[in-house]
Chains A and B, each alone.
Chain A
Amino acid sequence: ETGVTQTPRHLVMGMTNKKSLKCEQHLGHNAMYWYKQSAKKPLELMFVYNFKEQTENNSVPSRFSPECPNSSHLFLHLHTLQPEDSALYLCASSQVGIQETQYFGPGTRLLVL
């Protein structure tokens, strides 16, 4: 595997379900990000992890819970979501302090029923 991978690629869940999104980066980067992309809106930064420490929580509802066990893996745990949470969830990674260009994974298309 190369670059940034995400699983699952598509997810349909009910409002009472609990699910997790997984992201893995194979680039040796030290920072990882979760973004939400909804139709007609710019990419919204949700969480940032730098060296496994959360450095940014962009006023995200508590029904989204991130976890970063190491600098290569990032999870987004989902519970009791709302239909308006349906969106494309993108993971990205970068090397903070060097070039800081962010590279994106393929995304998880989430539909909440």
Chain B
Amino acid sequence: QKEVEQNSGPLSVPEGAIASLNCTYSDRGSQSFFWYRQYSGKSPELIMFIYSNGDKEDGRFTAQLNKASQYVSLLIRDSQPSDSATYLCAVMDYGGSQGNLIFGKGTKLSVKP
């Protein structure tokens, strides 16, 4: 069974620090990777997607993908209290008739003022 693993946390960082969130996946053939942010009581919202090995930057967020090691990470620079949320890693699975996302359990991030 294809799996996506995340440390559930909570991960606590001080305001202004870099938060590093990690995710590993079991299917070596996976090609598409997504990071969602979910505030308590809200639905997931897309932060970034990444398809190629290396880094992808968008503002304070950087996604890093290493397909050989089967991990994808999300770095948040200059962390703010408003970044406190659960971050969900998702991997696209093309094993069925179309691509479907497999989600990890999420990492809870707490940014302390």
Give residues in A with beta carbon < 8 Å to B: 31, 33, 40-43, 45, 48, 50, 55-56, 88, 90, 96, 99-107, 109
With A101-B34, A104-B43, A105-B43 known to touch, is A55 a contact of B103 (CB < 8 Å)?
Answer: no
Contact of B105 among A40, A55, A107 (CB under 8 A): A40
CA of A101 to CA of B103 in the docked complex: distance in angstroms?
13
Contact of B98 among A43, A48, A105 (CB under 8 A): A48
- For A53, give the chain B residue with the smallest CB separation: B97
With A101-B34, A102-B101 known to touch, is A42 a contact of B44 (CB < 8 Å)?
Answer: no
- Would you list which residues of chain B between 82 and 111 have a CB under 8 Å from chain A? 88, 92, 96-101, 103-106
Chain B interface extent, by class: 20 to 34
- For A97, give the chain B residue with the smallest CB separation: B98
Residues in B neighbouring A107, C-beta threshold 8 A: 42-43
8 A-B pairs in the complex with CB atoms less than 8 angstroms apart: A42-B104, A42-B105, A48-B98, A100-B92, A102-B34, A104-B45, A106-B42, A106-B43
Residues in B neighbouring A104, C-beta threshold 8 A: 36, 43-45
Pairwise interchain contact A50-B46, C-beta atoms closer than 8 A:
no
CA of A71 to CA of B104 in the docked complex: distance in angstroms?
28
Pairwise interchain contact A90-B104, C-beta atoms closer than 8 A:
no
Residues in B neighbouring A103, C-beta threshold 8 A: 46
Distance (whole angstroms) from the CB of A43 to the closest CB of chain B: 4
- For B106, give the chain A residue with the smallest CB separation: A42
B61 within 8 A of A: no
